[in-house]
Amino acid sequence: MRKLIFIMILTIFAYSVSAHTNNTKTGSLLWKVSGNGLKQPSYIFGTYHLFSFNFLDSVAGAKEAFAKSKQMVGELMMNDMNTLVKEIQAAGIMPQDTTWQMLLSEEDYKFVDKTLVETFGAGFQSFGIFKPSMISVLYDGNINQKNLPAVKQEETLDIWLQQEATKRGLTVVGLETVQDQVSALFESASLKQQAAYLVCLFKNADYSVNQTRKRIDLYRKADLNEMFKMLEDDITCPMSAEQQTALIDKRNKRWLEQLPAIMAKHPSFIAVGCLHLAGEIGLLQGLEKLGYKIEAVKK
């Protein structure tokens, strides 16, 4: 279970989506941020949390930008994975006054139990303590893990970058807490909505696998707009508007409020999930609206 929770942490916001895309901020995973009073530029990099750090070798300018930076900025601090696992697991526990039988029909209950056994080797006797969203993210993480090369925990992109930054004496900053993240995922939709979404995922398993494979391919191509469009057009198992807003819009807004002071203090290497970058409510356009010059790094 601990390994599953770890995989969940690294895929927890693969669900983040945007309802607004354009053609101006795509084609690169690394972007230079300058101007607006900055003495030295910072860089913002879109990660795919389960990729190996070796992927940086294929991202033009990434290692050079990292070497120039004096500060590493991530979604949250990942220096204590044991604590993170415990906090995530605790947040994903079902309330004592709610049972799965209250959330699902008898038919769906049996179907979900059977799918859990087929996927993880255990059904509700092990997973019944968790909220539906917790299981949804575990399921998504399982699909990602099966479609990517095996990577050790310390070699995944986000963790490696933070650990490497610490080794180099860089300041490491988290944009939010674990509670900020789990609130968006576990508390922004009702348990009934979460359960309905999980049933849909399980009933459309082949579709979920194909979508994951396509998303991985688009990430390797740095096609941010197409990744957004793919999710925007996905009507098979849509998330609630409230959850989408909590997962991406509100988080991006909070980060944009913090980043100016962070970048003014030290030239920074900012690494967040790639789906936070593009779109009208994305970080790249948001920083541009604040007066910064945003340039794709392609060489």
CB 274 within 8 A of CB 227: yes
pLDDT in tens, 108-158: 999 999 999 999 999 999 999 999 999 998 898 889 889 988 888 889 999
CB 217 within 8 A of CB 276: no
Cα–Cα distance measured from residue 265 to residue 64, given in angstroms and rounded to the nearest whole number: 20
Closest to 201 (Cα-Cα) out of 135, 251, 110, 153:
135
128: tokens are 């019944």
pTM: 0.89
Closest to 133 (Cα-Cα) out of 201, 194, 63:
194
What's the pLDDT score for residue 15? Answer: 45
pLDDT in tens, 63-102: 999 999 999 999 988 876 777 778 888 888 999 999 999 9
Closest to 10 (Cα-Cα) out of 120, 143, 158:
158
What's the pLDDT score for residue 137? Answer: 87
Q: Helix or strand or coil: residue 30?
A: strand
Cα–Cα distance measured from residue 256 to residue 8, given in angstroms and rounded to the nearest whole number: 25
91: tokens are 């947040």
48: tokens are 């795919």
